[in-house]
Structure 1
Amino acid sequence: MADAERQAWQKGLRERAFRLLARREHSRKELASKLLTPRNSPSKHKIQPPPEDLSHQEIQDEIEQLLNKLEANDLLSDERFAETLTRQYLRKGKGLLALQQAYQEHQLDSEITRPLLDWLAPLWEEQVWRVRIKRFGDQPPLDQKEAAKMQRFLASRGFTPEQICKVVFS
């Protein structure tokens, strides 16, 4: 019975991984976290708990094996996830610091993120100007209070102090 229970749990784990990946790209860390601590959805897809005889380490090992298989079949890719995340942050008007923080949160390897950041380097000035103009228009700040408001807003979007000073005070 324990073997059948384990196989049913493994099948459910695979199905959950497929459902998550069908919706959007995930980083390896993010998918592992969702598989390790699943939340049941109100839908028909109830998640079967792991067999009671499995230790926490054995559960983690099973998830790692599943992630390795997904990567081997190109269903899970940190490279694709990083590219998707980068495009998403650019569309949202986020800056370099916000993007770097997101890369760290998802534990993306610098071998993956460094080429993306190098490619983006010439685009940050245009990005910060676009965000500033969209929010505040293209007129210079009227006073110190408005300049401070611009600086706080741009900093909250993840732009560097140098980028902010360039667009607020030029």
Structure 2
Amino acid sequence: MFQRKREVKDPHDTQAIEQAVVFLLGRREQSAAELQRKMRAKGFHPDAVDEVLASLQQRGWQSDERFAESLIRQRTESCYGPLKIYADMQQKGIDRGLTEAILERININWQQLAVARYQRRFGTEPPADDKEAARRQRHLAARGFYPADVYAACKIAVQAPD
């Protein structure tokens, strides 16, 4: 259904901005950049939006670090690699330094994660031919794993357990 975009009566109304932001945060964690984009799209003035976001961050209602940790954990549980995670974080407006710090703190074994994804998707049977092997490698690369981890995972995943 098509909904008409309601015009903002006062683009500087910090109370209306705060209500809209809190409503969005009640649904899921969001980065400050996402919230800024959404509020500006609604027609609120950028300075008023920044003021409200600073207030909410000071109160602990919005945190880019908490958002990033949540999204990184979700992506790693879904077996995405570091390249995909960095790209997702950049798209959401999260600083690369913060992403690196969180990934370092979580201490993920990317090769092991790539093996888990490979086995979940393809099992432990070796590929029938070079074309199938390349397809499996492309799958892991598309999920954001480094080439070294892709090649290692493809080799390890089809080895018989000791």
TM over 0.5: yes
Query: Which structure 2 segments of 5+ residues have no match?
Result: 1-8, 157-162
Aligned alpha-carbon RMSD (Å): 1.9
Q: Which residue of 2 aligns with 1:56?
A: none
- Closer/same/farther in 2, CA of residues 135 and 7 from structure 1, 3 Å limit: closer
Distance of 2:12 and 2:105 partners within structure 1: 45
Judge which range, 88-97 or 69-78, deviates more.
88-97
One-letter code aligned to 2:22: F
Equivalent residue in structure 1 for 2:34, among 3, 24, 30: 30
Residue 168 of structure 1 deviates from its aligned partner by: 1.5
Equivalent residue in structure 1 for 2:58, among 42, 60, 72: 72
- Closer/same/farther in 2, CA of residues 162 and 99 from structure 1, 3 Å limit: same
Figure out how many residues of one structure are paired with residues of the other and give that number. 148
TM-score (norm 1): 0.79
- Closer/same/farther in 2, CA of residues 157 and 25 from structure 1, 3 Å limit: same
Q: Which residue of 1 aligns with 2:112?
A: 126
TM-score (norm 2): 0.83
Residue 92 of structure 1 deviates from its aligned partner by: 1.7
Q: Residues 141 and 168 of structure 1 are in contact (CA less than 8 Å); yes or no, is this contact kept in structure 2?
A: no
Q: Which residue of 2 aligns with 1:152?
A: 138
One-letter code aligned to 2:41: T
Identity of aligned residues (%): 32
Query: Which structure 1 segments of 5+ residues have no match?
Result: 39-48, 51-58
1:98-109 alignment, distance < 5 Å: 98-109=84-95
- Closer/same/farther in 2, CA of residues 126 and 119 from structure 1, 3 Å limit: farther
One-letter code aligned to 1:106: K
